[in-house]
Amino acid sequence: MTTIANPSNTRSFDIRSLGFLLVPLIGVAITLALHAYFGWTSQQQQAVYAGTMRGSAPLLFGALVGIIGEKSGIVNIGIEGQMTLTGFAAFFAAAASGSLLVGVAAALSVGMMTGLFMGWSTITIKMDHIIAGTVLNVFAGGFTNYYYAQGKTMPSFPSWPIPVLEDIPWAGKILFQHGPMVYFAVIGAALLHFGLNYTRWGLRTKAIGEHPSAADTVGISVTKLRYRNITIAGGVAGLAGLSILQSASSFSNTGFSSGRGFIALAVMLFGRYRPFGALGAALLFGYFSALQSQLQLFDTIDIPSEFIGMIPYAFTIIVLAALGYAARSPAALGQPFEKD
Amino acid sequence: MRALQGPVLAIALALVFGAVLIAIDGKNPIEAYGAILSGSLGGIDQIGRTLEKATPLVLAGLAVAFAFKAGLFNIGGQGQLVLGAAFAAWIGYRFSLPGIVHIPLALIVGGLAASILGILVGALKAYRGTHEVITTIMFNFIASNLTTYLVAFPDGPWFEVEGNASNISRTPPIQPSAEIPRLLAGDSSGIPLGFLVAVFAAIVIWWLLAKTTFGFEVVTVGANRHAAVYAGISVKRITVITMAISAFLAGLGGAIETQGVVGRFIPGDNSGLGFDGITIALLAKSNPIAVIPAALLIGALQAGATQMQSRAGVSPDILNLVQAFILFFVAAPMVVRWITRVRSLEEDSGPQLSSSWGAA
């Protein structure tokens, strides 16, 4: 419990706090080796790296959803369903109104509603957290299937190249020529890092996840804060849905999220519940899905496409197995809070 | 009888919610549910169809329920079922054997193929602490890709080359000796024998849990991991074996589907079945025998879906929503009690799973 009373990790510089850099570094090493093996041109490499950035945005947002929930003591395996529902809402709202902003508003409000549902079922009616998430996932699948309508199109997301920076040779194209959601994801991770480590909100959030009864004793309303956090997290899930929509540019009722809500949980664990850790992990996972699309597209090697399609999922399992018990989760995770 | 109150009220409420959605769409819910009723129970053919639909559901439900007993959440019934279906089809078409050997061999190989997946999941959980919810979902995608590859046009090793003019990705039809026969198949389609296999599996699982030392160990691990360790039970061993059996059951469900209904393996033909297992297991409160009526109910809904669409114009997809409502109400007795004002309703909200989440 020392982390509550004395947030020592924020005081002095510790070389281990740069640990999150390790993941991207390993990633870069692997990718350079792979690219040399496939003999890709500089342009193809750029395509893979830019694809990595795009593909990591929904995973990063999803992981942030998970982090906010788990830091507050709520296990959220319903992220997949949240992404599906918010993507659905955004697509059809934007298609009907012809305005992207209406779509964004729909994603955020539907996201917060799903967050509220997670909160209500786990906090108020004390449902098992994993069952609550499953209910959300099953509901999302059923709802989007039942109400899906074909033949709609929505206005596409703008591209926001960053002036000056986009002209940096080679790297500019990879890092600074994206749609808004990619930048927002990085900003989101930074904001959450700041919020968790340097604000009262962060301290209180960690308190209700680690030791809710102690938090209650010092006057924090555990229930209220959990509700607020899981609802905010729902809004972030809306951003995750929008990120998928930004790359896919339409909603598909058969494979919109395709397990990304679950991969996001692996990203969260691999990032050890830290926003910047999740950023590194999301890039790594994003890389493997970009690699998958690149291999499917260019057919550079003689591997059946079904096996290439397994890459992101197999990679998730391998990473989690390698990680083992390393990530320590908040102590009161998944337990309902009973006020004495 | 009081144990029945929760599930029955949950189903009733879910059907009411579904009816409201149907009515909002401007369709007639009474007509829709009437069509389901006659499409699932209206005659011997319809009943046969309900049993046919319920068969893999019993096994998918057993798979989830059995894992629940050990505190494990097997959310990957889908992938396991698909593997079982594909491997049973392979044994079924590739070999020529007498029926008495061929039928059980294909069933068992289907189950075993799935249980390899289960062993992997169990071992990852036991030795690396990798949560089974994530791994089983990931394996769903991997299994779906693998089986698609096996039968894919044109290079899949199990692809049906001859007599497949439109080049559909699928295996050749299984040999008649691997087909599970039907009982009382006179003029009508009769009663699928596969259903009896599923019922038998439910009885075996009940016996295993209630009457054997192994079953006692499983339940102890599920009830209290720490107490189990204290009692000298190897939690790791139980985790691996439980996942293996759970996956075997799901794979068996897929195999029966291949040998009793589809007659070959076609990717995507049995999607969603694995997830239905979760609803069924919760509805049955993880009781292996209660899984049978729960599966029959969901099976009846599915069997009547086509009639509902043709007679009332309601898309069968509504049933997925009804199922989500059932899932919710079964897991939230507090809400059911609040809506229905039935005071005597039991508080038990089912298995507690999140305690093992990220526990180091």
State the SS3 of chain A.
CHHHHCCHHHCCCCHHHHHHHHHHHHHHHHHHHHHHHHCCCHHHHHHHHHHHHHHHHHHHHHHHHHHHHHHCCCCCCCHHHHHHHHHHHHHHHHHHHCCHHHHHHHHHHHHHHHHHHHHHHHHHCCCCHHHHHHHHHHHHHHHHHHHCCCCCCCCCCCCEECCCHHHCCCHHHHHCEECHHHHHHHHHHHHHHHHHHHCHHHHHHHHHHHCHHHHHHCCCCHHHHHHHHHHHHHHHHHHHHHHHHHHHCCCCCCCCCCCHHHHHHHHHHHCCCCHHHHHHHHHHHHHHHHHHHHHHHHCCCCCCHHHHHHHHHHHHHHHHHHHCCCCCCCCCCCCCCCCC
Predicted confidence (pLDDT) per residue in B237-255, tens digit: 999 999 999 999 999 999 9
Nearest neighbour of A142 by CB, restricted to B152, B321, B352: B321
Give me the interface pTM, i.e. the ipTM.
Answer: 0.87
Contact B134, B125 (CB under 8 A): no
Q: Can you name the residues that pair with A178 across neighbouring β-strands?
A: A160
**Cβ burial, residue A98 (10 Å; 0-12/13-18/19+):** exposed
With CA atoms as reference, the chain A residue closest to B338 would be A125
Question: Which B residues 190-209 touch A at CB under 8 Å?
Answer: none
Segment A107-134 mean pLDDT: 93
In whole angstroms, give the CA distance from residue A296 to residue A58. Answer: 21
In chain B, alpha helices (H)? 2-24, 29-41, 44-69, 77-94, 99-128, 132-151, 193-211, 213-223, 225-230, 235-257, 273-283, 291-303, 305-312, 318-331, 333-340
- What is the Cα A311 distance to its own chain's centre? 19
Q: Is A339 left (phi over 0), alpha (psi -120 to 50) or beta?
A: beta
Q: Which residues 254-283 of B are in CB contact (within 8 Å) with A?
A: 275, 278-279, 282
Of B163 and A280, the one with more pLDDT:
A280
Mean pLDDT of chain B: 88
Is residue A33 scored above 50 in pLDDT? yes
Q: Does A128 touch chain B (CB under 8 A)?
A: yes
B-chain residues near A304 (CB < 8 A): 149, 152, 155
CB within 8 Å: B142 and A129: no
pLDDT at A7 over 50: no
Can you give the pLDDT at residue A235?
97
Confidence of residue A149 (pLDDT cuts 50, 70, 90): confident
Q: What is the pLDDT, as a whole number, of residue B250? A: 95
B190 three-class SS: coil
* Residue among B155, B315, B328 minimizing CB distance to A135: B328
Average pLDDT over residues A219-241: 95
Confidence label for A10 from pLDDT (cuts 50, 70 and 90): very low
Looking at residue B91, its pLDDT comes to 94
B130, B135, B283: best mutation site toward chain A, by most A Cβ within 10 Å?
B130
State residue B48's pLDDT score: 86
**pLDDT > 50? residue A1:** no
- Note whether B133 contacts A77, CB cutoff 8 Å: yes
Question: Which pLDDT band holds residue A105 (cuts at 50, 70, 90)?
Answer: very high
Tell me the pLDDT band of A326, cut-offs 50, 70 and 90.
Answer: low
CB of A311 less than 8 A from some CB of B: no
| SS3 (DSSP) at B9 | helix
Interface of A with B in 314-333 (CB under 8 A): 314, 316-317, 320-321, 323-325, 327-329, 333
Residue A294 near chain B (CB below 8 Å): no
Where does the pLDDT of residue A4 fall: very low under 50, low under 70, confident under 90, or very high at 90 and above?
A: very low
- pLDDT of the residue at B124: 93
Contact B278 A335 (CB under 8 A): no
- The Cβ of residue B310 has, within 10 Å, a number of other Cβ atoms equal to 11
Q: Could you say which residues from 30 to 59 on chain B have a Cβ atom under 8 Å away from some Cβ of chain A? A: none
Residues of B in contact with A317 (CB under 8 A): 124, 130, 134-135, 138-139
% residues pLDDT > 70 (chain A): 90
pLDDT at position B3: 73
What pLDDT is recorded for position A260?
Answer: 92
For residue A58, is pLDDT > 80?
yes
Q: Which residue of B has its CA nearest to A334?
A: B354
Query: Residue B183 pairs with which residues in a beta bridge?
Result: B191
Q: Which residues 16-75 of A have a C-beta within 8 angstroms of B?
A: 70, 75
Output phi, psi for A177, to 5 deg: -125, 70
Residue B358 pLDDT > 60, yes or no?
A: no
CA B135/CA B142 separation, integer angstroms: 10
Question: Is the predicted pLDDT of residue B356 greater than 80, yes or no?
Answer: no
Chain B residues touching residue A141 (CB < 8 angstroms): 275, 320, 324
Query: B183 CA to chain A: closest CA distance, Å?
Result: 35
Cross-chain residue pair A259–B138, CB shorter than 8 Å? yes
Tell me what the mean pLDDT of segment B285-305 comes to. 92
Given a cut of 70, whether residue A340 has pLDDT beyond it is no
What confidence category does residue B171 fall into, taking pLDDT thresholds of 50, 70 and 90?
Answer: confident
Cα dihedral sign for B323, A242, A111, B351? Answer: positive
Residue-level pLDDT at A162 = 86
Q: Does A149 touch chain B (CB under 8 A)?
A: no
pLDDT at A337 (0 to 100): 81
Give the per-residue pLDDT at A3.
42
b/e map B199-219, b = 16+ CB within 10 Å: bebbeebbebbeeeeebebbb
Q: Residue B353's closest CA among A272, A124, A333?
A: A333
The residue-averaged pLDDT of A228-239 equals: 97
Contact yes or no for B122/B244 (Cβ under 8 A): yes
**Do residue B321 and residue A139 have CB atoms under 8 angstroms apart?**
yes
Q: How confident is the model at residue A165 (pLDDT cuts 50, 70, 90)?
A: confident
Chain B residue numbers touching A126 (CB-CB < 8 A): 334, 349
Q: What's the burial of A222, exposed, middle or buried (CB within 10 Å: 0-12/13-18/19+)?
A: buried
pLDDT of residue A2: 39
Which of A148, A313, A325 to mutate to test binding with chain B, by most B CBs within 10 Å of its CB? A313
Question: How far does the CA of residue A276 sit from the closest CA of chain B (Å)?
Answer: 20
- By the CB < 8 Å criterion, does B355 face chain A? yes
Cα gap B344→B346, rounded to integer Å: 6
Chain B residue closest in CA terms to A126? B332
pLDDT at A24 over 70: no
Q: Chain B: residue nearest A265 by CA?
A: B134
Select the residue of A142, A263, A324 nearest B128 (Cβ to Cβ). Answer: A324
Choice among A324-333, B35-44, B259-268 with the minimum mean pLDDT: A324-333
Chain-chain contact of B331 with A145 (C-beta, under 8 angstroms): no
Q: For residue A86, what pLDDT band results from cuts at 50, 70 and 90? A: very high
* Distance from C-alpha of B9 to C-alpha of B341, rounded to nearest angstrom: 11
pLDDT band at A87 (very low <50, low <70, confident <90, very high): very high
User: Is the confidence at residue A82, as pLDDT, over 90?
Assistant: yes
Res. A49: pLDDT tops 70: yes
Please, what is the average pLDDT of chain A? 85
Q: Do B324 and A135 touch (CB under 8 A)?
A: yes
Asked whether residue B294 carries a pLDDT value surpassing 90, the answer given is: yes
Which tens digit of pLDDT belongs to each residue from B86-142?
999 999 999 888 888 999 999 999 999 999 999 999 999 999 888 888 899 889 989
Query: Reduced to 3 states, what is the DSSP secondary structure of residue B183?
Result: strand
Total residues belonging to chain B: 360
Mean pLDDT of A262-289: 88
